[in-house]
Each structure stands twice: as C-alpha cells, then as structure tokens.
Chain A
Amino acid sequence: MSAGGPKAGRDGRAGEQRFLDPAVLARLGTLELRARTIVEGFLSGLHRSPFRGFSVEFAEYRQYLPGDDLSTIDWKVYARSDRYYVKKFEEDTNLDCYLLLDVSASMGYGSRPSTMLGAARTAGERRGLSKLEYASMLAASLAYLMNRQRDAVGLTAFDERIVAMLPPSARTGHLHQVLLELERLRLGTGTNVAKPLQVLADGIAKRGMIVLISDLLDDPERVIDGIRPFRFRGTDVIVFHVLDRDELTFPFERATRFRDIEGSEEMMAVPSAVRAHYLAELNRATERFRQEFGSIGIDYRLIDTSEPLESALTAYLATRARTR
C-alpha cells in the first residue's frame, strides 16, 4: 500500500479538477459539512485507487474454532496441512489518532488577492483562506476520515500552550465534539510547538498516530526535538507543514514594511532585493524538516493552502497504511 502513495499523488494531481478549491469549501456551511464533502469526494475517488480494502487486512492464520465463519477457512492450507485454519483479518480499531493543531497567531495569515500584492493591506480588506482555516478543514477532514475508519480521534490545539484538548475516542458523537471544538478555535499568540508536544507525549500511553498541523514558524530545533520522542515510542507521526502561497513564493512587489503577525516587530524590505534570500531560507528550513523527520521515519508534508486538501488526506492514508 505504501507503493500507492506516489501514484495516488499523481492521480490526485491529475484529477485536481475533481477536488474543490479550499476557498470554495470554506464558504460551505459547517465544518462537518466541509469535512464530509472533502472526505466523501476523496473516498469516491479512491475506488479506483490502490487503497481499496485497506481497512480489512490479512493478519494471521489460526485454527478453526466452532462458530467461525466457514467462508474464512483457507482451503489451500487445509490441503497442505490437513488442518482447518481460518484467515484472520485485522481491523485497526484500536489506533488512537491525535490531531495536533497549531492555533498560534501566525496561523491567522492568509494570502491577499494577487492584484493587491503591490498595495498596502487595509483593515477590512478581503483576505484569502487563512492557514488556520485551512488547517481546521484539514483536521476536520482527517477526523471524519479516522472516524469513518473507526479509529479513535483526539484533538489538541495549541499556541504557546495547549488551548484545547479532546482525548481520542471512537465513540459515536465524538466526531461531532471534535468538529465542534474545531469550530470554536480562535487564534492564539506565539508559537511553541515543543511544549504541547511534551505535554502530549506524557499523556499518550499506547501506540498511536500523531498528526501535527502547523506552520512550524518556531525554532526548528525545538520542533524537531519536540516530535522526536513520539517516534522513539513507536508512535507514527505525520507533520503537515502548512504555509500560505505568499509565504512560499514571496510575491510582493514594491517596498513594504513587514510587521510580525505575532509581535510588534517591523521590517522594511524591498521584495525584489530580499526575495531570493527569503526563499533560500525557507527552502533551507523545509529541507531540514524533510531530512530530519525523514531520518526518524516521520512523514513530512509541505502543504500550500491554495492547494486542495486531498493531497494531505492522501499523505495521511499512506502513513496510516504503514501503521500496524
């Protein structure tokens, strides 16, 4: 199934027209509706994908016991060993998934329309989808998907501290609570990824999956150091590094005074003069995340908020498929 990841990605890109634009999705009513729209659409596309049957997997053989379904007897093994063995299909209903959502102030950044890149942003000016809105939709979609797979899903929102936390559960109605909590989330202050991860690490008792959704605008060392312990405990980790298109391309044109969204710092810059350095710094950081996370088996995905969420779901499923 792991081999299906890249292919699925290609299929996903090829069929991008099928996917709804995140900005369009954002105008749908509730987060639950958005998540359902995303996931159902995504899954309907998967009927043609190699992910088919992921939730009913062969685990082991065991001797036939009275009451077992006769259709599960493996007749080939019987022919070789003259004993009745049945195929054991394992369903991952025991997996605990933790959605870690960064709600720091920097997640409130959203692109401006491209026509306004050269102009100053004024109050009330219409902005594009913010990173938090995108991340919330992604988290909701993942929660919906996990719930559909009967995985237990929990939610932890943080900025410099944990601002909301729902423990994982597969109970009926838990998904609704998760989605409701996502709806309630508001932007916080500064980013400190390590601290909530540490708290979370202490609280996770059994093997599970951590899904971190953040712009990672924090000290990379702290981020990596915060995540690394999960992996050492055998927990699968997937990191969605969510960045806005403006942050990825730095398309500003005229001299601009950039103000830190998480503070009061201002910096005057001529985009044409600093663009190359900025992009180089960004690439260096993402590349480091990719290498560091990759080296410890953490799946790292750089997400552009202008891209459909399906690619992120695909990444999740690829990681989930590896999880035993």
Chain B
Amino acid sequence: MSFLSPLFLLGALAAAVPLALHLFHRRTEPVVPFAAMRYLRRTPVEDSRWRRFKELLLLALRVAAALLLALAFARPFLPQAAGALERAATLVLIDTSASLSAPGQLDRLRAIATDVIRSAPVGQSVGVVTFSQGADVIAPLSDDRAGALAAVTKLTLGAGATRYRSAFARAAEQLGNRPGRIVVVTDLQQSGWDAAGEGVLPERVDVELRPVPAPAGNLAVSALTVDSGDAVATIQSYAADGVTTQVAFAIDGHPIGTTPVTVPARGAMDVRVSLDGRQNGALSAAVVDRDGYVADNTRFALLDTNAAPSVLALSASGRDEEVFYLSRALSIGNDADVFRFRAIGSPAFSDLKPDDLATVDVLAILGTRGLDQRGRDLVAAYVRSGGGLLVSAGPQVDPVVVGRVLNGTTHSMMAARNAAPLGFAPDDSRHPVFRVFGGVGTLSSVSFTRSVLLTPGDRAEVIARYSDGSPALVEEQIGDGRVLMFGSDLNHEWNDFPVQPAFVPFVHEALRYLASARLAHREYLVGDLPGNIVPGIVAVGRTESPGAKRPGYPATNPPTPATQPPGTPATRRVAVNVDPREFDPAALTPDAFRAAVGRLRQAGASREAEAATEQADRQRLWQIALAVMVVGLVAEGALGRRLG
C-alpha cells in the first residue's frame, strides 16, 4: 500500500493518547463514599476478565479510530503494479546514435558495456538496451550474462539522433518494479535532451554515467541543395583548426565531380559542382573525414523535377480560357519555383482513378459544371488522403455542387449572395498565405464586384475577410489534407484580382501552402520514418491501414531506383539524412547530464504522483477508512456507555 500524503501518517501518533490514558490513567473513575453498600453489594458483579476484555476492546477501537483517521488523511492506495519485490537489476543503456560513429567509439562502447556487465553484482539481473532515436532491447533483463555479452559483441551503430528520454523510458519499462541501476554508456551528446518526450525514471533506480569521449573534431555535409543547375554542398567543420578535404558528388551512385575544399576552424564552406542539366536522380555529396563521425560524411537530396508542386485545375471543360489567369500566374517564377500545372475538364476528371491523383499536390476547383457523383467522390477521397484543395467561387462554380462535393469532408459551406462592391484583407497577416504581403499591402487595391457567402465550419479558420466582415478565405484542416475556400473567382469575372500585382504571389503562396503537406515530406531525418532506415534515398508508399486513423508511410530501404516500376504510382522517393544536431562533437558535462537526469526523475515522480492520485481517487480507500472509523466510533460509543 502506498500513500499520497504520507506525512499525515504522523497523525497515527495520536493513537498513543488513548494508549497512554489506558496505561497510565486507568483509575479515572470517581471515588464516592456511599452508605447503602449492602444493596449494591448484592448486585451481580461484572466478571473482571470480561470487563478487562471490553476495556481492551474499547482501547482497540479508540486506537483504531485514530489510526484510521490518519490513514484516511494520508490517502492510501494500492499501486497497480505492486507485485512481489523483484531482484535488483543492472541495465546497460548503450548510445548507438550517429554521434558515436567516430573511429574507435564503437570499440569503446563495447569495452565499457562488457566491463559493466562483468562487474555487475552477483545475483543481479543484467540487460542491455541500445538507443538513438528510439530504444531497442538487445538483451532482456536476465541472469544470462553471456547472452548480454554476446549482444554487446554484435552491437552495431545507427544513424539516428540521440534521444535520452526515450532511452530512459524504455529502461524504466524494462526495469518495472525492480530496484537497481541504469548504466548509461554515451558520448553525452549535447542535443540528447532537446527532444520532448515522456521519459520517466523511477526513484528506486540509480543512474550511473560511463562516458565515451567524443572526437576532437568532425567534418560533416550539413546541407545539399540545387541552385541554378549546380549541386551545392555545405561542409561544416567542428575542428579547432582548418581542415582541407575533398567533396565527392554523385548521382544515383555515379560520380559527377570531386571538389577540394578547405573549411575554416569551426566554420562552414559551400562547395558547388555543375549538374550538367541532370534533373532526375539521387544526388549525394560525401567528404572524407577520418577522425570525425562517419554517419554525417554523406548527405542525400533528390533531383526529381517533380519536386515542383503539382497543381491540377478542374473546370467545366478544361479549356485554357477557363483557367487562364491561374495557369499564367503559376507559370511565373524561376526554375526551382515553377509549378507543374495541368487543367482537366469535369468528364475527364471523373474518369481518373484515385492513384492518378497520388502525384497531385493541389487540386484547384474552378468549375463544377459536369462534375458527376464519381468526380465528387474522387475529390472527397483526395482531400481525405491528404491532398490540398482550393475551391474558388465564380460563375462556373455551383455552391450546391460544392456543398455536395465537400459534404462529409468539410463543414464549411458556400452560398450565393447579391453582388456588392467589396474590398479584401487578411484576417491574420502572419498566415503563410499572406506572410509575403507584410500586412494588407497591395491586397487593398483588389476590388470585388461579386462574391459568395462563406460559412466556416466548426474546425475552420477564417484567414481573410471582405470589407463587410464576411469571410473571404476559409481554411480547414482535414486529416493530412487542407482545404482553402475562396469567396470569389480567380478568372477575372467577379473581381479585378487576376490583374492586380498581388494575384501572382497570392496564388503562389496559397497553392504552395496547400501543397506543403506533401512537399515537406520529400526530405526526412533518420528516425522520422518508421523502420530501421539509414541515410539515403528511400521509396515510401501511401497505404491505408484498416482501422488506422491516419495513413502510414511504410518505407523501403536501401534506396530504390529513380524510375518507379509501372503499377506503383503512389510510391514516392524521399531523401533521408542524419540529424544535423548530431554533427557537433561538443559534449555535455557529466554534471549537466546528471542534472537533466534529476529533472527527468522529478518529472517521473510528478507523473507517478498524478497516477497515484488517480488511483487513490479511483480506489477510494480513504473513504472506506473513514467509514470504518465512523463504525468503530459508534461501536466505541456503545461499548463506552456500557463500561461507564
């Protein structure tokens, strides 16, 4: 049994009061001289032993009442996992993150772990857990020390970031109710405590730190981008002196150039190589770093041209004049920013299969004429699967049809209203769509002659309003997908917006914002994707798991070829790289680490206290104690009266 407020147990000392009175003030009854003793003498005298027993019972009831009162105030509860006390254990937490990939560090890890296992006190269980982004049990807690040593021998490093909280959470899970110690073998990576998490640390467990020295310096490819037809690699040095090295670029594993570079001490340097017009493939840049971490020596990026957002405009016939201003606006920009735009008529749209929309980042509805039920279902499925949808009002858009399209997908509604001249301004200028305008800016010159009445749903947000206060642009998040509803047209029929300077940036930002959900998922860090994925180019496919609330991204590794085989249109390629925070070999001090462990212990304690409070509230043992105390007091009163 545990207690929420154990200090109240001190109140149990009050039980000493009736005890002391019983022991030291037993003759409390008054002495009365009495004459008619002869009649009193004849009354049946209570058996002294029986009376003694009743007095002891009375004493027990009074003591019990005091104890129960103290017990009730101490808020007792029965811990759920309160089992028999198990043997103490030693759990070795081995850091296998990318920051342990310097030469010699793995051997050092193994040596320390081996030493800890061998020196563990006799009779203690021993287990081994490796951790980086996540934590894996490579040797469960047991008496099998040989097995633990063998697991340490087979130890391999990963490329994930250091996450101490998840490591301690797994360790606590492994230890359960056991007392013992956790021995952390780590390089004390500075970013190890950055990530938020649900780490806990039981109070009965000690933490012992066995640090592994970090390398003196490190060289890393911290970024790899494409700029004006060149591949640009940023080389970061964490060495105290300048470092000269070679940067080797490759596409799909084929070298395209090697560039020497001298990086200043604790500085960075960009290195370029021409792509010679190559627009597809998996680009990589690698440096030679013999002393630093191995995992960050290579970085990957995708050259796929389809990196530009793909926009599919839906109109009545798909003809150019129905989407003229939008298509022209999207064609403006440099190579990197260009949109892949395509228009489609309602009949052709209805013939599409869901997979055909897998590569579409944004679907823009500029006309609903001819959109049948199948087409409407296709739009709804697209949004639910995480696509971006722009719905623009206009003479070609029937609010009723829009309502049917969005029915069950969004609660925002569109309804016709009388024409009236209106202005237009963002409701929140910090919204990504309007951030480029720095406030109202040029949007104030847009003049609307007609508009529809937008009614935002419960979960929708109004991000722009007309001058009469009615919503002009409404956003609603639906699963992974986003919907933007614009209350006027984008084809210069109900407003002069398309001929205003603000139109192009507005359309670009709005569509990029809608596409961002998918575009952002083209580059990942190790650990972002499920599975044991190492840095490189990875093919991910969207699947709908039965019963799953959100689609998952099962990944395959190693990198798949740039050209996907037919029949896998929903599969996308993404680049996976090492978390840049792992590049810096600067380590935490042991004291800082222990302080963080202390905070974790406090957090764990408070979490345990919350859980204990919930348990106490649920079990209501204090109420039972009070009820028993009341019953005891009633019995005490009755017995006390009999005893006088």
How far, in angstroms, from A281 to B40 measured CA to CA in the complex?
A: 8
Cα A180 to Cα B314 in complex, Å, equals: 137
Bound-state CA distance A202–B37 (Å) is 32
B29–A254 CB distance below 8 A: yes
- A119 to B31 CA separation, bound complex (whole angstroms): 9
Residues of B within 8 A of A265 (CB): 37, 41
Chain B 13-39 interface residues, beta-carbon cutoff 8 Å to A: 27, 29-39
Known A-B contacts A257-B31, A281-B42; the reply to A270 vs B36 at CB < 8 A is no
A261 within 8 A of B: yes
Contact call B37/A260, Cβ cutoff below 8 A = yes
Stretch of B222-230, B446-454, B636-644 lying at the A interface: B636-644
| Cβ-defined contact, B29 with A281, below 8 A | no
Is B47 on the interface with A (CB-CB < 8 A)? no
- The one of B29, B31, B642 in contact with A273, judged by C-beta atoms closer than 8 angstroms, is B642
Q: A277–B35 contact, CB under 8 A? A: no
Interface digits, B40-83 against A, CB 8 Å rule (1 contact, 0 not)? 11111110000000000000000000000000000000000000
Question: In the docked arrangement, what's the CA distance between A285 and B644, Å?
Answer: 27
Task: Given the known inter-chain contacts A262-B35, A265-B37, A285-B39, please indicate yes or no for A270 contacting B30, CB distance below 8 A.
Answer: no
Proximity string of chain A (99-111) to chain B, C-beta cutoff 8 Å, 1 when within and 0 when not: 0000001111100
Question: Residue-by-residue, is A115-146 near B (CB-CB < 8 Å gives 1, otherwise 0)?
Answer: 00001110000000001000000000000000
B642 x A272 contact (CB < 8 A): yes
**What count of chain B residues pass the 8 Å CB interface test?**
23
A269 at the interface (CB under 8 A from B): yes
- Assembled-state Cα–Cα distance A254/B34 (Å): 15
B33 touches A278 (CB 8 A): no
- Chain B residues lying within 8 Å of A84, measured Cβ to Cβ, are none
Q: Interface code A247-270, partner B: CB below 8 Å = 1, 0 otherwise?
A: 100001111111111100111111
How far, in Å, is A252 (CB) from chain B's closest CB?
7
Instruction: Name A196-252 residues within 8 Å CB distance of B.
Output: 215, 217, 243-244, 246-247, 252
Of all chain B residues, the one with the shortest Cβ separation from A109 is: B35
- A64 and B641 alpha carbons, distance in the complex (Å): 80
B644 near A254 with CB under 8 A, answer yes
By a CB distance below 8 angstroms, the chain B residues around A107 are: 35
Q: How many Å lie between the Cα of A139 and that of B31 in the bound state?
A: 32
CB contacts (< 8 Å) of A1 on chain B: these are none
Is A282's CB under 8 angstroms from B32's CB?
no
Q: Is the CB of A277 within 8 A of B43?
A: yes
Residues A271 and B37 in contact, CB atoms below 8 Å apart: no
A244 to B35 Cα, complex, angstroms = 9
Which chain B residues lie closer than 8 Å to A253 at the CB level? 644
CA distance A261 to B34 in the complex (A): 5
Q: Does B35 lie within 8 Å of A247, measured CB to CB?
A: yes
Instruction: Knowing A272-B644, A273-B642 are in contact, say whether A257-B35 is a contact too (CB < 8 A).
Output: no
Q: Which residues of B contact A281 (CB under 8 A)?
A: 39-40, 42-43
Q: With CB as the reference atom, state the residue of chain A lying closest to B29.
A: A255
List the B side residues contacting A269 at CB < 8 Å. Answer: 40, 43, 45
| A145 to B38 CA separation, bound complex (whole angstroms) | 34
CA–CA, A283 and B111, complex, Å: 101
Check A257/B37 contact, CB under 8 A, given A270-B643, A271-B644, A273-B644: no
Q: CB distance A256 to B29 under 8 Å?
A: yes
| Cα of A15 to Cα of B39 in the assembled complex, Å | 34
CA distance A253 to B154 in the complex (A): 86
The answer to whether B30 touches A217, judged by C-beta atoms less than 8 angstroms apart, is no
Enumerate chain A residues within 8 angstroms of B33, measured Cβ to Cβ: 109, 121, 258-261
* B30 lies within 8 A of A274 (CB): no
Q: Is the CB of B32 within 8 A of A270?
A: no
Cα distance A272–B46 when bound, in Å?
12
> In the bound complex, what is the Cα–Cα distance between A266 and B45 (angstroms)?
13
B27 to chain A, nearest CB (A): 8
Q: In the docked arrangement, what's the CA distance between A109 and B30, Å? A: 17
Q: Which residues of A contact B40 (CB under 8 A)?
A: 258, 267, 269, 274, 278, 281
Q: Evaluate whether A109 and B644 lie within 8 angstroms (CB atoms) in the complex, with A257-B29, A274-B43, A282-B39 already known.
A: no
| Residues from chain A with Cβ under 8 Å of B36 in the complex | 106, 109, 215, 217, 243, 247, 278, 282
Chain B residue numbers with a CB within 8 Å of A217 are 35-36, 38
The answer to whether A259 touches B35, judged by C-beta atoms less than 8 angstroms apart, is no
Residue contact A270 to B44, C-beta cutoff 8 Å = no
A270 to B58, CA, bound (A): 15
The digit string for B292-307, where 1 denotes a CB below 8 A from any CB of A, is 0000000000000000
Provide the bound-state CA to CA distance between A109 and B73, in Å. 52
Kindly list chain A residues whose C-beta atoms are within 8 Å of the C-beta of B42: 277, 281
Contact B642 A106 (CB under 8 A): no
- The residue among A105, A272, A273 with the most chain B CB atoms within 10 A of its own CB is A273
A278 to B34 CA separation, bound complex (whole angstroms): 13
The minimal Cβ–Cβ distance linking A29 to chain B, given in whole angstroms, is 28
Residue of B nearest to A268 (CB): B29
Q: Roughly how many angstroms separate A45 CA and B38 CA in the complex, as a whole number?
A: 39
The B-contacting residues of A in range 180-203, CB under 8 angstroms, are none
Taking the closest CB of chain B, its distance from the CB of A126, in whole angstroms, is 15
Residues of B within 8 A of A266 (CB): 31
Interfacial residues of chain B within 229-274, with CB under 8 A of chain A in the complex:
none
Q: Which of B587-644 contact A (CB under 8 A)?
A: 641-644
Q: How far is the CA of A134 from the CA of B517 in the complex (A)?
A: 111
CA distance A107 to B36 in the complex (A): 10
* B31 adjacent to A259 (CB under 8 Å): yes
* Cα A312 to Cα B35 with chains together (Å): 22
Given contacts A258-B37, A285-B39, contact A270 B31 (CB under 8 A): no
Looking at the assembled complex, report how far the CB atom of A228 sits from the nearest CB atom of chain B, in whole angstroms. 21
B102-113 near A? 1/0 per residue, CB < 8 Å = 000000000000
Q: List 29 A-B contacts (CB under 8 A).
A: A105-B35, A109-B36, A119-B30, A120-B32, A121-B30, A121-B31, A244-B35, A246-B34, A255-B643, A255-B644, A256-B30, A256-B32, A257-B29, A258-B37, A260-B33, A260-B37, A261-B34, A261-B35, A265-B37, A265-B41, A267-B40, A269-B40, A270-B46, A272-B642, A273-B644, A274-B44, A278-B43, A282-B36, A285-B39
For the complex of A and B, 8 pairs with smallest distance between CB atoms: A120-B30, A255-B644, A270-B644, A277-B43, A109-B35, A106-B35, A281-B39, A258-B34
A257-B29, A261-B37, A277-B42 are known contacts; what are 14 more A-B pairs with Cβ within 8 Å?
A106-B35, A244-B35, A246-B34, A254-B644, A256-B644, A257-B30, A258-B33, A259-B34, A260-B37, A261-B33, A269-B40, A272-B642, A278-B36, A278-B39
Interface positions of A (Cβ within 8 A of B): 105-109, 119-121, 131, 215, 217, 243-244, 246-247, 252-262, 265-274, 277-278, 281-282, 285
